Amino acid sequence: MWYKIMVVADWFGEMGERYKLIRDFNRAGKNSFISGIAPTLLEARITRGESAYQHAFSKFMSGGFRIKALSGRRLEKSELIEVGRVVLDNEELVRKLIALGWDTLEVNDSQGYNGCKWALKDHANIGGYIN
C-alpha cells in the first residue's frame, strides 16, 4: 500500500517539474521580450505531441512542448526554424525535456497554422559521447 502512495508522490513531483520548466521558460521569454533582447514574445505550453516521435519516457497525451511565437504577424518557416534551433542546439535542455516526458518540439506562430515539429530524441545525442 505505501508503495502506491510513493508512486503517486513521484508522479506529482515529476508533473511539478514539467510545469516549473514551462513557467520558467515563459518568464524568461517574457523578460527577454520586455527588455528588447528578443524581437518576439515566446510562450510555451504542453500539447499532445506527435505519436511518431514517442520514446520510452514519453508522457501519454502530453508529449508535446509547443512554443508559440507571438509576433503579431505570420512568421516565415525560416523564422520558426530559427526559434526551434535555440532549443535544439542546447543538448542539456533537450535531454531535460526528454527526461521529463516530452518527445516533440513544436514551434508555431500566432497567425494561422504555420508550424514546425521535431523529434527531440533526434537532437539529444543519445547513445553517443557527451561533450
The 10s digit of each residue's pLDDT in 73-85 is 889 999 999 999 9
0.95 cut: is pTM over it? no
Q: Where are the domains of the chain?
A: 2-123
pLDDT tens track for 48-62: 999 999 988 898 888
In this predicted structure, what is the pLDDT of residue 111? 81
- Specify the long-range contacts of residues 79-88, CB closer than 8 Å, at least 24 apart: 79/109, 80/107, 80/108, 80/109, 80/114, 80/115, 80/116, 81/107, 81/116, 83/42, 83/107, 84/116, 84/118, 88/118, 88/123
With residues binned 3-state (H G I as helix, E B as strand, rest as coil), the percentages for the chain, rounded to 5, are 45, 20, 35
In this predicted structure, what is the pLDDT of residue 73? 86
